[in-house]
Each structure stands twice: as C-alpha cells, then as structure tokens.
Chain A
C-alpha cells in the first residue's frame, strides 16, 4: 500500500530515539561531605503533619509534594536536606545545606534528567540563594536571576528552596 511511506520517517525517529539516562552528579554522601567536610550526619525521621503542610504551603506559596522529609542533623551544626522539584519531564533531586540559623549554606543538584537547562548547576547561579532564610521573597526574575532557556528548572528550584526554608521554620527548627 502506498500509504506505508508515510510511516517511514516516524519509524526512523523512533528507531534512533535512545533511552534517556539520568546524569548523576553527586551521591547523597558526596553532597554531604562537599557541604560539611569532616562532619558526621544523623538522619532525623520527620513526617510533616497536615497542619504543617498547610502552613508551609501558605508561607511559601508552593505545593509540598512529599510530607516525608529526608533530613540529617550535622555534627558540626546545621542541617542537610535531600529534596526534589518538578523538572520538564522528571523530578530534579537536589540537596540543601542549612546552617545553625536556618540560612542556606549550600545547594547541590544531585541529578539532572533533562536535555537542556543544566545551567542551574552553575555555582554562581546557586550562590544567589546562599544566606537566604525563611521570609526572603525568593522570586524568579526579581530576587533570583532567571537562566534563559532553563526557565522551568530555575523557577522550580527557586520555589523548592523557598519551600524548604519555610519547612525549616515551621517543622525543623523545633525538631
């Protein structure tokens, strides 16, 4: 049948489409030692209550995707959190280190599974968050510079950090 030729390009594209592989930059342990060299880490089981989720969402204007926190107390002071934010196709796992006062000490992107936009790993871009604490407005294009061509990732990382700072103030500080 002559119509068969119409499927040839489609089949060709599917044939060359390779499976996607996540690019893993750091393991959790590597991120911990990078942020807090020489420290030891004690995992703190913490599940947010409904009221806490509501309060965090209200304070950060960002949805809490998972009430179960991956949280570690750092022997030298501070907290280490592993979280994830929505990416273009998949979640973006990241680690956030907070100092004793709840200010952002460091951020590391653990994996990046998108074809473009890994500029969010740029240390200079991430440094915009350092020293920020709960209550900082942290809005993309105003307080945090946008990465052109990676707007969605930039926006969701910004929202995610704002949410984690609210999480610290509402649930972690008193833990």
Chain B
C-alpha cells in the first residue's frame, strides 16, 4: 500500500486518525492498564480510535531503543463483542547491545543482519492485525468477568495468532478492578539466511522460525478520584521454541515485568501511561548466555518498557 511507503507515513497516519473524527455518543472500553486487558468493551455501535506508543529500552549493553506504534480502530458489534483492526509500525536503533557485544536488532527486525559491530537504525511497517474480544461474563452482573481475545496479525513474512483469556473482579463500587490475563501466542517468521552465522547452522540458510509466547499477568487499578486511576501490573513472559509449550527442552526465555500505571479518562478521551521494568530474576533455559545480571536480553526482552495509550470515543 502506498500508505506504507517511507516518508509518507506521518501523513497517512494523520489521515487514519482524521477519518475517524466524527462525534457521536459512545462508551468507554478505555484501558485501565497499559499491558493487561479488562473485560470492559465498547457497547453496541460504540466506536473508538486508539493510539499506542511503546518504548522498549536497554539490553545487555551498548545502546538499544525500539519504538512501537499501533493505530487502532474498534467497533462494538454487540454489547459483548468488540472488533478492532490496527496497523503496527516500528522504529529502532541498536548498537553493540547483545550479551556478546554485537549489534542485535529486536525481534520485529529478525530478518535484518547488520554487521556485528555496526550501528543499526531502521523504520519498518510490521503488520496489520484484526482483534475480536468476546465477553462471556460481565464483572458488573456476574461474580467474575470473563472474556476471550483472538488476534491474528499478518506482516511481511510474519504471522502471529494471539489468544488471551481475560478475568476481572471488581470491588469498592467498581472503583477497584483486579484483572488476570493468560496469553498464548504462536508466531511464524520466514527468515533469510544470516551471512554472519555459522555456515553449518540452520540460520545461515533461509529458514522458518516458529516461536510461542506464553504470558501470565495480574494487575490492579484503583480510581482514586473522578477521572483518575492508578494501577500496578506484573506479568511472567515465557518464550518457547516451536509449538509445543510442554516440551521443556524447547523453553527459552522466562522473565517477569512489573510496574505502575496512571490513567485518565473523561467522556470522550482517555490516556494511559505505564512503566514496566524487567526484574533481575530471569532464566533462559536454551541459551543461558542471554542472561546478564539476571536480565534476559534475548530479542524479545529488554530492561524497560514504557507504553502510552491515548484514545477517543465517538
């Protein structure tokens, strides 16, 4: 698509936002937390445009930054089914950030192989995704809210499916919200040969990389005054080589992230800011050299994640 051509992206993104600039009544499914989901959805015919920016920072050493952008449109198909479509685009810079001091691009740039000690800097369209969240139990009328998220994502030589179970329990007149998320996300990447890899290795030739992410997170959000809430999240993230999540020999990284959130929302607008830090208690069962000072530094892990979400209902 022409929209994704380098240099035209800012104008295209503005156009995406502008085309949703119609004002009608709607309700909030605003995210109380930055990374974990609640079971709150848009009502039937409610619409929303949402923008995420996630900054991933710092690996084993050197320099590493990844900015992930996501522009999303959501629609309430029914009061318990919300459909969304979104675009994902990234910018990154990396320099001698790997545990061995080589330059290692982040996971979305797995098909890029910079010279080991060079500076890497790139902007990339990652993919487009469709998301459906189906709420089967409401936290307002049932003892526990339950919802399921299905999210296929497709990009250049990349496919991922995310399935997430979401649980929510409210207290204190629904001002205190506890959530639990369990995520299963297999992904497939078609990779070109890495010219710097061992010529006898699989990576040296064109290959297919299959990986499965398993995440388990819990969080709490408390609305301490009108429009404002604070929260805290903690999530265990596990990466498994291939599909079989029960094959211990294929387990790779296992890290824990945690951090606070502040959230503001009014009738039509919300903003959520979350700061996550990896705890220095990580394991990498397949490649222990990826653990530096207790932190996993593999391609899908970094020390710090900061996410800003802003959205507008109409």
Contacts and interface: CB of A to CB of B under 8 A. Distances in A.
B267 A9 contact: no
Contact of A117 (B16, B27, B71): B27
Contact of A88 (B27, B49, B141): B27
Given A20-B266, A116-B25, A116-B43, A5 B9 contact: yes
Contacts of B28: 88-89, 114-116
Contact of B67 (A3, A62, A156): A3
Contacts of A10: 51, 53, 308, 310
Interface in B222-245: 226-227
B91 interface: yes
Interface stretch (B159-167, B168-176, B247-255): B168-176
Contacts of A115: 25-28, 267-268, 313
A156 B173 CA distance: 8
Interface in B208-231: 226-227
Contact of A6 (B18, B91, B141): B91
A174 interface: no
B69 A9 contact: yes
Interface residues of A, number: 43
B123 interface: yes
A13 B27 contact: no
B21 interface: yes
A21 to B, nearest CB: 8
A103 interface: no
Interface string A99-117: 0000000000000011111
A86 B175 contact: yes
27 contacts: A6-B53, A6-B69, A6-B91, A8-B10, A9-B71, A10-B308, A12-B13, A12-B18, A13-B49, A16-B17, A16-B21, A17-B268, A17-B310, A17-B312, A21-B267, A62-B173, A90-B227, A114-B27, A115-B26, A116-B313, A149-B27, A149-B44, A150-B27, A151-B140, A152-B174, A155-B141, A156-B174
Interface of A: 2-10, 12-14, 16-21, 62-63, 65, 86, 88-91, 113-118, 140-141, 146, 148-152, 155-156, 159
Interface of B: 9-10, 13-14, 16-18, 21, 25-28, 43-44, 46, 49-51, 53, 65, 67-69, 71, 76, 79, 89, 91, 121, 123, 138, 140-141, 172-175, 226-227, 265-269, 271, 308, 310-313
Given A10-B310, A115-B267, A146-B141, 18 more contacts: A2-B123, A4-B10, A5-B10, A6-B53, A8-B10, A13-B17, A13-B310, A16-B17, A63-B173, A65-B173, A86-B174, A89-B265, A90-B266, A91-B226, A115-B27, A149-B79, A155-B140, A156-B173
